[in-house]
A and B are shown apart, each in its own frame.
Chain A
Amino acid sequence: MLNRITRRMIVKLGLAAMATTGLGFAAQAADMPKPFDKPGDVKIALVRYLSTGDFFQAYLSGVERQSAALGVDLRIFDSRQDAALQADMVDQAIALGVDGIVVQHGLTEAMSEAVQRAVDAGIKVVAFDVNVGNPAVPQIEQSDQLLAQLALEQAIKDNGESFTAGYVYVAGIAPLDRRDEKWREFKEKYPGINEVAQFGTLDNPIANSVANQASAVLRANPTINVMFAPYDEFAKGVKIAVDEAGLNNDVKIYSADVSSSDIQAMREGDSAWVATAATNPAVVGEVSVRALAMLLAGEDPGHNVIVPPTLITRDMLMELDIENMEQLSAKLPQFAHADVAVADWMPLPSR
């Protein structure tokens, strides 16, 4: 324990020294394996496909926190949903001489080759939520199947094995497709689930567009008592429609993902949004960097690094008096940290 504390202190001192002198080599940490004995010389790049929105902001903050804890030099490349540009950015990172790359989202077709070039150049790569089809590249995943499963198990627990359901889904979006697999599995397992309506759109602002659709659906199918909306923007839209129709006590909404504004919506009086399953995007960011660090130190994080989700119910939020993401992390420890890709020597971000 003492050893650990001193080690962390040394890292912190090193960071402070680095900050004051602006020189990387000051961060000399005794017990860290190569190349982290001189963390300031380790350059890693985050190459992003998606960046706008709360989830991606939180992911980035996790990446930044863990990088700072390690003391490495983080460069951020943001392609803003331009697949070709993202591939070019991997090449830029190679040219920059980085030691490791985190690929965040993207298209398999565009990224596979670029990632292969990086691997050929001796650069360690991990990929989050994009399958680059490369055995040398660990895949970081938030398990969408598990997310959907947690939410649906809660729905069964609350409503029994038969209910009338509305389902919000847009095909062709990888995480939604994976959540959809679970939904179909559940419908087969519980024949009492009667899906009477399926709708969904990604028109911006999503919540508003989905609210318009959900409103029509609720009027066409007044018997719906469960809405499965496995994406928080969908759930928010359905909630608006349920509120407007005054059906707060007749319909329950189950979803996936969470943000501060989602927590507020779930906490509203008589909120129909009763449960959501979520992985903390900041934790996913931290895990991505840790997995990369393990690779750089010559350790093996495994090919599939899965960050487990947490179930969050309205009752929990009320009982523990949780108002935002920070309090959620503070009061639900399983949400604040995932014991995934953690090596003994690795300094973790302070909380």
Chain B
Amino acid sequence: MANTAKAQTRFRDLAIRYGFLVLLLVIVIFFTVMEPAFMSLRSMVFIFQSVSITAVLALGVTATLVVDGFDLSIGSVAASSMMAASYAMVVWGLGSVEAVALCLLLGLGVGLFNGLLVVVARVPDLLATLGTMFLLLGLQLIPTAGRSIAKGMMMPDGSTSTGEFDKSFLFLGRHRLWDIVPVSVIIMLVLALVIWFFLEFTRWGRVMYAIGSNELASRLAGAPVSRYKIAAYMISGVSASIGGILLAARVGRGDVSSGNNLLLDAVAAALIGFAVLGVAKPNAFGTLVGALFVGVLLQGLTMMNAPYYAQDFVKGSVLVVALVFTFSLTRAARR
């Protein structure tokens, strides 16, 4: 009797730990059977590319989730960073290095602003970042009076812009290393590795997790909680601005957009990440797998001519399953 019970617990543990990865494998096999073109090197690389921007944003959100915060502004930071990069090059005629630096500074600045709102002004995180989101949605449109930015665009004062997108900037979104791996995928993987290492293996990362699970205890233990929280928002801001840079480099113009879908997809990826490996907490590896999971589904469904609303439905279903997985199964196992 005791043995079967033990075996059951073990099976459940295994299911919790690897269930999501097995599910991912099953889905990949299913799509390969339905649509042979799905299983090719190019397809696989492409799935990585299609999720790279979402994943970069999601990694940033993960950092704020770790300290028990939340960043609603990432979508608009990405959109603003896309506009800023385009504006810098097309209107000011700056080079790609300056444009990228400007965007990263913008991301850091917004992150700092969010952090200060939360820590110093004591505005609850959801509200603070919601405010920042609206602020940026408006701000990004002011310089161009609501127009998209492209080479040869007409400025609000009637003149025509003279700059253009730097070749080396477009390289970030369009070039493929060894003719197969896009640069954006490399950036995503490197960022994932850095954030994963930072959160799991450095003292700072451990302190951030400690703050997330019990802020008061961490404060009493002498951790500079405020600084860590601000740092988390700055990581989030800078990740989002990297996402915006990749977006601008891929699209090749500064598109007027709210970035709300980016926000939702990124948050979904990070939340699905809770369930991967059954750790029930924000983690960089899970976030990456979560983003890939959604990417695999969307790619497969599109190949099978599924309409867009079916895709939203599937995205929602995956998220709900992942949340149930996180909040009931893993909790039950711990009891």
A positions within 8 Å CB-CB of B: 51-54, 56-57, 170-171, 197-209, 211-213, 215-217, 219-220, 222, 236, 240, 243-244, 259-261, 263-265, 323-326
Contact = CB atoms under 8 A, between A and B. Distances in A.
Given A170-B308, A205-B251, A219-B42, A326 B154 contact: yes
Contacts of A205: 79, 82, 247, 251, 255, 257, 259, 261-262
Contacts of A207: 251, 255
A197 B250 contact: no
A164 to B, nearest CB: 14
B75 to A, nearest CB: 8
14 contacts: A56-B146, A199-B308, A204-B259, A207-B251, A211-B251, A212-B302, A216-B46, A216-B303, A259-B148, A259-B150, A260-B148, A263-B152, A264-B151, A324-B152
Contact of A52 (B38, B53, B146): B146
A324 B53 contact: no
B253 A261 contact: yes
A264 B50 contact: no
A53 B149 CA distance: 11
A60 B129 CA distance: 32
A101 B275 CA distance: 54
Interface of B: 35, 37-38, 40, 42-43, 46, 49-50, 53, 79, 82, 141, 145-154, 160, 174, 182, 247, 250-253, 255-262, 298-300, 302-305, 307-308, 311
B331 to A, nearest CB: 33
A60 to B, nearest CB: 9
B175 to A, nearest CB: 11
B43 A219 contact: yes
A204 B160 CA distance: 27
Given A204-B262, A240-B251, A264-B150, A53 B256 contact: yes
A212 B298 contact: yes
A204 B260 contact: yes
A191 B252 CA distance: 37
A246 to B, nearest CB: 9
Nearest first, the 4 A-B pairs at minimum CB distance are A261-B150, A220-B303, A205-B257, A324-B152
B167 to A, nearest CB: 12
B147 A220 contact: no
A200 B247 contact: no
A171 B309 CA distance: 10
Given A208-B251, A261-B253, A324-B153, A243 B174 contact: yes
Given A204-B262, A324-B152, 5 more contacts: A208-B250, A216-B302, A217-B303, A261-B253, A324-B153
A207 B261 CA distance: 12
A217 B302 contact: yes
A212 B299 CA distance: 8
Nearest to A196: B305
Given A204-B259, A211-B250, A219-B42, A264 B305 contact: no
A29 to B, nearest CB: 26
A213 B259 contact: no
A51 B302 CA distance: 30
Q: Name the residue among B53, B148, B149 with the largest chain A CB count within 10 angstroms.
A: B148
B232 to A, nearest CB: 26
A205 B257 CA distance: 6
A171 B259 CA distance: 22
A220 B37 contact: yes
B251 A325 contact: no
B141 to A, nearest CB: 8
B148 A261 contact: yes
Contacts of B256: 52-54
